[in-house]
């Protein structure tokens, strides 16, 4: 049986591999020779086959084309470096002029400075803190504690953020003693110059100009009322109900020369014409609020010089008005 199996197996191989015209396996035309030679060219360095030495070649190329369909899922985690996000902050958070002892009040993009002692505007150096990358005034770079500016007019500080966006802050310096060259201030009444409890009656209101034009009211029913924390933390005097104050002896106010007038005030109601300020004399100065339109009307009695503002003044709103 064993012998017979070997013969049959051999017959099957021969029958399946033998071409129609039989060639010797060692013939170079034989499929066995070609297959063996190809294999050894790829996988072996040197082999002898049928007395022929075969040496492996250094390259092997193949070309194939395939098609197929596949579905796959997977999860991946990666790390890397993202571009830096530039800051857009561009605020001025502190501002002062130490040489004058003045600290700015920042309200939105407005910075207010005031001094009761400065009598002339000379270049001053400010110290400030910003959250932006740089700051300039009229194109000039500003360095805190180094750059000097003249504060006789408003200064616009342009703050630039790291991302290139900008914000403008307006710095205003109020120094009444510096008006008119520092020698023409005749009267200056400051509510914050009074130190009184809230709702106190005011008997006298000292003139801060140095001219001695103090306001006085000795009649209790006519005394104005001192009110604290009414506008940006500052106090005011309430003159409602016909309350008023007068000057015992005016100094350098009865003049024919021109003058300027400025006031911060609020009207709570309009019942009749209101005289804000009136200095007696043939050519007295007077500043009124007319009724019912509430126009501002400055003028001088005796010379018929009266001018009325074109816009009405709103009620219950603090305003700064003036005439030059």
Residues 229-258 have pLDDT tens digits of 999 889 999 998 888 888 876 766 666 666
pLDDT, residue 17, reads 41
Distances (CA, A) of 140 to 35, 94, 95, 162: 87, 20, 18, 18
* Percentage of residues in the chain having pLDDT higher than 90: 34
The residue with tokens 């002896």 is 249
Tokens, residue 77: 């985690």
| Closest among 140, 143, 145 to 156, alpha carbons compared | 140
Higher pLDDT, 229 or 277: 229
Q: What is the mean pLDDT of the chain?
A: 76
Alpha-carbon span 90 to 165, nearest angstrom: 8
| Closest among 37, 38, 39, 41 to 52, alpha carbons compared | 37
* DSSP conformation letters of 256-322: SS---EEEEE-----SS-EEEEE--STT-EEEEE-TTT-BEEEEETTTTEE---SSBPPTT--EEEE
Alpha-carbon span 46 to 31, nearest angstrom: 20
Helix (H, G, I), strand (E, B) or coil at 41: helix
Phi and psi torsions of 189, nearest 5°:
-105, 120
Contact 46, 56 (CB under 8 A): yes
* CB within 8 Å of 71: residues ≥ 6 apart: none
Alpha-carbon span 229 to 192, nearest angstrom: 10
Residue 2 has pLDDT above 60, yes or no: no
Residue 100 has pLDDT above 60, yes or no: yes
Contact 136, 142 (CB under 8 A): yes
Alpha-carbon span 318 to 231, nearest angstrom: 8
Residue 102 has pLDDT above 80, yes or no: yes
| Closest among 203, 174, 173 to 188, alpha carbons compared | 174
**Containing H/E element for 323?**
strand 319-323
Higher pLDDT, 169 or 312: 169
Does the predicted model carry a pTM greater than 0.95?
A: no
Beta bridge partners of 155: 171
| Closest among 181, 188, 193 to 247, alpha carbons compared | 188
Residues 163-215 have pLDDT tens digits of 999 999 999 998 888 876 656 788 889 999 999 999 999 999 998 888 888 89
Higher pLDDT, 207 or 305: 207
Most confident residue range from 12-16, 190-194, 295-299: 190-194
Q: How many CA atoms lie within 13 A of 260 on its CB side?
A: 10
Helix (H, G, I), strand (E, B) or coil at 166: strand
Contact 316, 268 (CB under 8 A): yes
Residue 108 has pLDDT above 70, yes or no: yes
Most confident residue range from 25-29, 99-103, 183-187, 283-287: 99-103
Residues 36-88 have pLDDT tens digits of 444 444 444 444 444 444 444 444 444 444 454 555 555 555 565 667 899 99
**Beta strand 200-201 pairing with 204-205:** unpaired
Please give the radius of gyration of the chain, using alpha carbons only, rounded to the nearest integer: 50
What residue ranges do the domains of the chain occupy?
22-54, 92-179, 186-250, 254-324
Fold of the domain built from segment(s) 92-179: Immunoglobulin-like (2.60.40)
Helix (H, G, I), strand (E, B) or coil at 33: helix
pLDDT, residue 75, reads 56
Phi and psi torsions of 264, nearest 5°:
-110, 120
């Amino acid at each position: 049986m064993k012998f017979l199996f070997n013969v049959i197996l051999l017959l099957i191989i021969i029958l399946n591999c033998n071409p129609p015209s039989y060639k010797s396996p060692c013939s170079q035309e034989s499929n066995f020779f070609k297959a063996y030679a190809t294999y050894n060219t790829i996988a072996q360095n040197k082999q002898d086959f049928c007395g022929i030495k075969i040496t492996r070649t250094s390259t092997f190329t193949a070309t194939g084309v395939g098609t197929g369909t596949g579905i796959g899922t997977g999860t991946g985690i990666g790390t890397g470096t993202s571009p830096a996000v530039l800051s857009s902050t561009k605020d001025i958070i502190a501002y002062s002029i130490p040489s004058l002892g003045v600290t700015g009040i920042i309200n939105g993009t407005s910075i207010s400075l005031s001094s009761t002692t400065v009598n002339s505007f000379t270049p001053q150096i400010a110290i400030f803190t910003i959250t932006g990358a740089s700051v300039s005034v009229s194109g000039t770079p500003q360095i805190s504690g180094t750059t000097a500016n003249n504060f006789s007019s408003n200064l616009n500080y342009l703050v630039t953020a790291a991302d290139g966006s900008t914000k403008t802050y307006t710095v205003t310096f109020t120094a009444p003693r510096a008006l008119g060259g520092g020698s023409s201030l005749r009267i200056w009444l400051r509510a914050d110059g009074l130190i009184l409890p809230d709702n106190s009656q005011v008997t006298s209101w000292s003139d801060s100009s140095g001219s001695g034009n103090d306001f006085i009211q000795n009649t209790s029913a006519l005394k104005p009322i001192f009110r604290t924390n009414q506008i940006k933390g500052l106090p005011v005097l309430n003159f409602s109900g016909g309350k008023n104050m007068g000057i015992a002896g005016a100094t350098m106010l009865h003049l024919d020369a021109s003058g300027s007038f400025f006031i911060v005030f609020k009207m709570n109601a309009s019942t009749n014409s209101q005289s804000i300020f009136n200095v007696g004399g043939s050519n007295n100065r007077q500043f009124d609020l007319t009724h019912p339109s509430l126009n501002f009307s400055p003028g001088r009695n005796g010379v018929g010089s009266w001018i009325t503002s074109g816009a009405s003044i709103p009620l219950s709103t603090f305003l700064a008005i003036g005439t030059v």
